[in-house]
Amino acid sequence: MEKTEQLYEGKAKKVFATTDENLCIVSYKDDATAFNGLKKGTIAGKGVVNNRMTNLLMQLLEKAGVPTHFVKELSDRDTLVKKVKIVPLEVIIRNVSAGSFAKRYGVEEGIVFDEPTIEFSYKNDDLGDPLINSYHALALRLATKEEIETIKKYAFKVNEVLKQYFLHLGVKLIDFKLEFGRLTDGTIVLADEISPDTCRFWDAKTNEKLDKDRFRRDMGGVEDAYAEIFKRVTKGE
């Protein structure tokens, strides 16, 4: 399958049309941003890690019964996916307090929750992706009730599958962000990516951060962290 015109260039990926109107090609870049684009940089090799890791995890999730947009890995950075209309909600699942949760509620990072939490952000860069509840999402017609129920069900399933999977690799899955989309027939599928850009991963023994927080917080060792988590995931295959 060949790329035709570029449909979109985002902060971390480009999206291309193909000769099949139902398929597109996503191309992963090394560009990194944080704080709604305020902080910019590059992480050498990130595009390759995020592309290949996303594809491995999407295939694992398909097997576990979560439909995804994945079709075929084309190269180190390029993947053929089903074209979707993205539901403009960032779906965030948390197992342990960190990041904006810790800040918002004035608690330390690292509190293990009895049950995972779910929250939505309205995917809108101009507004800074504000937190939104499901009633507001319905009022704004961002998704239907049925779609929100399906998305919640899939998101918790993704958490169960990935939490177990990463624990076997000596990694705690702290939190992550998912995006879902609609196929032309309206079916909801998991889209976008699952990578160290979109998940928090802590080493199970040392709590060392193996994700984008190293970039966000200027901690150094960013490339090494991406390489380490990727090494563990590919060993897990």
Q: How many residues bind ligand ADP (CB under 6 A)?
A: 17
**Please, which residue, 81 or 173, has the CB nearer to ligand UDP?**
173
Say whether residue 12 binds ligand ADP (CB under 6 A). Answer: yes
Residue 147 binding result from ligand UDP, ligand ADP, none, given CB thresholds of 5 to 8 Å by partner type: none
The residue whose two tokens read 């260039």 is 9
Say whether residue 10 binds ligand ADP (CB under 6 A). Answer: yes
Say whether residue 15 binds ligand ADP (CB under 6 A). Answer: yes
Say whether residue 86 binds ligand ADP (CB under 6 A). Answer: yes
Say whether residue 142 binds ligand ADP (CB under 6 A). Answer: no
Give min distance, CB of 122 to ligand UDP, in A.
11
**Using an 8 Å Cβ cutoff, are 16 and 7 in contact?**
yes
Say whether residue 177 binds ligand UDP (CB under 6 A). Answer: yes
The total number of residues written for the chain in this structure = 237
In this structure, what are the phi and psi dihedrals at residue 54, rounded to the nearest 5 degrees? -55, -45
Instruction: State how far the Cα of 11 lies from the Cα of 36, in Å rounded to an integer.
Output: 10
**Please, which residue, 99 or 221, has the CB nearer to ligand UDP?**
99
Which residue, 223, 178, 218, is CA-closest to 39?
Answer: 218
Residue span binding ligand UDP (CB under 6 A) among the ranges 47-55, 64-72, 94-102, 152-160: 94-102
Sign of CA dihedral 49, 210, 222, 229: negative
**Please, which residue, 10 or 186, has the CB nearer to ligand ADP?**
10
**Using an 8 Å Cβ cutoff, are 21 and 1 in contact?**
no
Instruction: State how far the Cα of 24 lies from the Cα of 83, in Å rounded to an integer.
Output: 5
Q: What is the DSSP annotation of 156-183?
A: HHHHHHHHHHHHHTTEEEEEEEEEEEE-
**Using an 8 Å Cβ cutoff, are 191 and 182 in contact?**
no
User: Distance from first CA to last CA of the chain, Å, rounded?
Assistant: 26
Residue 77 binding result from ligand UDP, ligand ADP, none, given CB thresholds of 5 to 8 Å by partner type: none
Of 80, 92, 191, 233, the one binding ligand UDP by CB under 6 A = 92
Say whether residue 129 binds ligand UDP (CB under 6 A). Answer: yes
Of 32, 53, 198, 230, the one binding ligand UDP by CB under 6 A = 198
Which residue, 115, 150, 121, is CA-closest to 133?
Answer: 121
Instruction: State how far the Cα of 87 lies from the Cα of 122, in Å rounded to an integer.
Output: 9
Residue span binding ligand UDP (CB under 6 A) among the ranges 57-65, 156-164, 174-182, 217-225: 174-182
Contact residues for ligand ADP, defined by CB under 6 A: 8, 10-13, 15, 24, 69, 81-84, 86, 179, 181, 191-192
Binding site for ligand UDP (CB under 6 A): 90, 92, 98-101, 129, 175-177, 198-200, 212
